Structure 1
Amino acid sequence: MNTFLVILLIAAMIATVVALVRGIVAFLRTTEAELKGDGPSASSVKSNKMMQFRIFFQALAILIVVVIMFAAGRT
């Protein structure tokens, strides 16, 4: 059980880093023309979506750490 949780934690941590990098790359691709345009651009929408995924995966990783600590305390 503990090994499974550690594997899940590593997967959540990797997903957090991937979402962070993809969000930063999408943010950096925003051009000056897009910044002056009306409404959100496609790259800014993608950047926001990736950052939302990052927050989700980060929360999931924290939850898994709490479960691991709880399980370690019970043994």
Structure 2
Amino acid sequence: MNTVLIIALILAMIATLVALIRGIVAFLQTTKEDLNAPEGSGPSPARLKQNKMMMNRILFQAAAIIIVAILLMSKGHG
């Protein structure tokens, strides 16, 4: 059981790192035109991707924290 949780934790941490890097790349691709866009034009595709990647990062981090909590609770009872 602990082996499966440790593998899941490592995968969640890798997924968090990948989502973070992809979000930073999307942020860096935000062009000057995006920053100077008119007020009601809505978000650009780069901004939508950035938001999606940062939301994924938060979800993967939450998964990693939950896995760590499960591991700690199983160590306390074992």
Which TM bucket (shorter chain)? over 0.9
- CA shift, 1:72, in A, is 0.6
Q: State the percentage of identical aligned residues.
A: 57
Distance 2:55 2:71 in 1: 25
What secondary structure, in the 3-state scheme, does the structure 1 residue paired with 2:30 have? coil
- CA shift, 1:34, in A, is 1.3
4+ residue runs over 4 A deviation: none
> Residue 31 of structure 1 aligns with which residue?
31
List aligned pairs for 1:60-75, cutoff 5 A. Answer: 60-75=63-78
Point out where structure 1 has 5 or more consecutive residues left out of the alignment.
none
- CA shift, 1:35, in A, is 1.3
**Structure with the larger helix share:** 1
Superposed CA RMSD in Å reads 0.5
Q: TM-score scaled by structure 1?
A: 0.97
> Residue 51 of structure 2 aligns with which residue?
48
Point out where structure 2 has 5 or more consecutive residues left out of the alignment.
none
Distance 1:7 1:72 in 2: 16
- CA shift, 1:11, in A, is 0.2
User: What one-letter code is carried by the residue in structure 2 that aligns with 1:63?
Assistant: I
